[in-house]
Structure 1
Amino acid sequence: ERLLRQIGALGAEDTIAVGGGGFLPHIRSDAIDRVVVALGIGSRPLRVPTETGEEARGRVFILVAAPFDAPVAYLETVATLAALLRQDGVVDAILAAGSAREIAAIDAVRNAPRVQKLSVLDVMEPAAHRVYPDMPLEEAARLMVRGRHRGLPVVNRNDEIVGMLSEKDLIRDYLPGYLRLFDSSDDPAKKLVQPSGRRTRETGDRTVKDVMSKAVLCLPTEASISEAASIIVNKNVDPLPLTREGKWVGLISRRSLIRKLLQF
């Protein structure tokens, strides 16, 4: 029952529109103890919103549900099924099948491609935008919005990571000013966005170092893809900075990891 509620709350970012009428909703849940795959076929095409804001239509839905402690199996299963559904004729063959046994007998299903082993360098997004501690906060915020970054490492002039600026940090800093417009001193949201020991300035001269998080979890480029996936999925670190010889060289995000896996 708990899993069904969680599935019902899935959003566009949790469903991959593969094309040709196939969809891959995917979820991590504490309600199960192993990776589970379920196939559903609609009696008519359903409209499904995508991350781009557009709608896709299709009848074939393959749900992937996995426990939190199986991040690699979760991502590899999603990637393998996406590669399967992308093959010409597979969705049509599934729709034409009369039973689960007939679906399992489809050649493409029996010979589903296996995801190749990756390194973190295969998935890494190279460091392109740099945020410095003394950079005006508004400039850094606009940089993150333009680049669609959920977070960026804060580095010194030697490219050594000294902090992390995330969407959460920006919300905590900007939202109190918005709430003050309504002069609601008893608004509980104010307590939520201003954690104990953290203050925001009234003026517009805030810099990145005023709001950044100083505790940063990162990995060296020699780390395995399993380590990166485990941190991203289990510790909810997204994006995850990568370093080489102590210097920031790139990021791995949940989206970039799935995007890379979907190429196989």
Structure 2
Amino acid sequence: MPSQVSLSRLLPPDRIVVGLKATTCEGAVAQLLDRLAAAGLISDRGAVDELVAADVSAGELLNLGPRTLLAHYRTDAARELAVAIATSATPFAFAPAKADEAVVFVLIVAPRSAAKYHLKTLAALSRLLGTPEVVDALAKATSAEEVVELITQKDVVIRPELTVHDLMSREVHSVSPEALLSEALQLMVRHRRRGMPVLGDNGEVLGMITEQEVLQHFLPQVIGSATPREGDQPAIEDVEVRYVMQRSVMCLSEDQLISDVLGTMLTERVSQFPVVREGKLVGFLSRTDIIVKLLRHSIYK
């Protein structure tokens, strides 16, 4: 892979379908595959069609961003990594219930040897399609050339290395310092998080509440008498987060390299980080996020 490639180079007009009319997911993928095959990028169309049929039956269509659907395949029937995009002014008829407003459909086909390039391309597409304004503009485009111009204007590049922005969770659950510890624990259990940030009134990170702080705070009760005596620490439902939270918190910026973050995780024994922009929380990155997202995109297959 070159050190840096503009996403627009992967999307010439002949790989863009404006006003997609397909009524099924399989039909939508077939139309985009036709474009890639015509460009000489598919060596065995039958093999790819088999993959598509298996994925459609398994419901493997993914959300890439707001109102955007993704189908991606790794197969040696692809001569090189290729991308095609379809748009529609109205929601696709084949969109699943959880994404019934989708108006942009992305197809990626890549050889197995291009695993890392595949993931980095997904990250670049996620950056491009991560805002409603871009998706709305693409849906309103009336020609493939207009779509290309919109993508070129955004100047999104496929970065040589993954960044925090590429893998962080944008759906962040947080608590206030005044929240009860029992409420924080319920959120952590419900969302399967080992910790969460504590935020001030302006969205600034004041601390972290994690399993470790909870255990350390209540360890005397756990190993001591089963019946608390007067003067003992209060019950968990009566404690505010501010009295238990970790106040010294290492935060990340969105442009930090994942390779650097992994090094910090190992040397500092930190497994989760708030991600901030101009002092305010915009995401969360944990060791689990990194592992899950890498596996989801099959980088190790």
TM-score, normalization: structure 1?
0.49
Q: Which has the larger radius of gyration?
A: 2
TM-score, normalization: structure 2?
0.43
